[in-house]
Amino acid sequence: GGHSGRVGGARAPVGAMPVLYDPSAGYLSTALSLTHSVVPAVLRRPTFWLFFIVHIVVWMSYRGRTVEFLEEADDKDKASSMEWQVVKVIVSMTTFFEVFYTNHVLSRYMTCYESVMGLFGAELNLFMELRFHYKPKHLPWARLITRYAVAAMFIFLADPESVSEVEEDEWRELLRLGLLREEELQHLERYGRRHCSVILLHWSARVIQESAKNIGLTSNVMRCFLQQLLRVRQEKQLLLDTVRLPVPFQYFHLLNVMLIVNLGLWAYGFGIMQSMFAPIGFFFAQLIFCGLMEMAAQLADPFGTDEVDFPMRQYLLTHFNNSVFLIERCLPPDERHPEALALVNVADKLAKHKRVPRMKEDPMSPCSSPYSPGRNVYDSDEAEDDDDDD
């Protein structure tokens, strides 16, 4: 998650991703804004300081003429000299491999983000359609479908790789939010994380099928509901496949070897320079190369605890609140909202006008948070008092 505050034109709201920044900020102020950058992480790496110390030792030995081997480094015919044309070849290869790796990791990062947002979008589309087709007296069916689908999302996104078991704290949170009941939890505890998510989606599909029969929905409507659930399953599979297929280790290993060789040559090459600015040049050249690797390492696992990782808990709670709002608070217009009913009935006529009249604020409108602590808003047995009036 991020941190609050502004540094050099950058703002990082609490629990938000990514860090918001001002593209029009000055180059210098942006470059000196280190709070939300990879620079602190690079400077915490022992390897970074190891190579820098090696460089300083070589540089001081060369300038002080304390090592006989380095005294002849100026002579190109001596073994201690370095041909920079050869170093440039290695630097070019390392740069290409590192940029390619970083670009691939960034592309994978964006794919994961699009899949996560696609999961939330598919479920919200389903809930909107449920609220449209299910009358108030049929809300228990909609609640049951919704809580199974949202519970599946909570379990899956807590560990998209599905390598860990569902922990006791997660089960308790699902009970507290009203997404599961005790008997359902006892049944699901026998399965792994990935199977629990699939089972809950299957339960949601079964409820859609049974409710369609009882309510009398057409097969096309039921098929539309199921298509949204299938899209959820497909997005989950895409996300699972993406996180389980990182860059091959052989490529990553070779890239690290190239980086180490490159830094070693730089440490020596900058060290046999007479210029007093050689350590500064080596420091920033090493910082840039190591910074790219550090950034790629953080982007490689967007479900971790780095600052660039997805604030998954915030995403899930927002999705939960949106789901509750759509099912419980997004009421259709009725005689208590004559202006809203009028807008619905004459929508095609209003579309011809340049300006659509604004509705007056309704003091009963659900503008507050839809989640009320201590209330099981997804209790499928709970019915509205005025359900029979429809």
pLDDT (0 to 100) of residue 363: 32
Find how far residue 350's CA is from the centre of its chain: 40
Q: What percent of the chain has pLDDT over 90?
A: 43
Residues 49, 45: Cα–Cα separation, whole Å: 7
pLDDT (0 to 100) of residue 379: 45
Average model confidence (pLDDT) across the chain: 80
pLDDT, one tens digit per residue, over 21-64 is 788 888 888 888 888 889 999 999 999 999 999 999 999 988 87
Decide: 97 and 255 in contact? Cβ < 8 Å.
Answer: yes
Q: What percent of the chain has pLDDT over 70?
A: 80
**Residue from 130, 127, 102 nearest 297 by CA:** 102
pLDDT, one tens digit per residue, over 88-146 is 888 999 999 999 999 999 999 999 999 999 999 999 999 999 888 888 888 889 999 99
Decide: 252 and 40 in contact? Cβ < 8 Å.
Answer: no
pLDDT (0 to 100) of residue 337: 54
* DSSP codes, 265-279: HHHHHHHT---TTHH
Q: Per mean pLDDT, which range of 170-179, 193-202, 224-233, 348-357 is the poorest?
A: 348-357
| Nearby residues of 321 by Cβ (< 8 Å), 6 or more positions away | 369, 370, 371
pLDDT, one tens digit per residue, over 258-296 is 999 999 999 998 988 888 899 999 999 999 999 999 999
Is residue 257 predicted with pLDDT exceeding 90?
A: yes
Task: Spell out the long-range contacts of 362-366 with Cβ–Cβ below 8 A and sequence spacing 24 or more.
Answer: 362/337, 364/336, 366/325, 366/329, 366/330, 366/331
Residue 157's CB is within 10 A of a number of other CB atoms, namely 21
Residues 329, 88: Cα–Cα separation, whole Å: 65
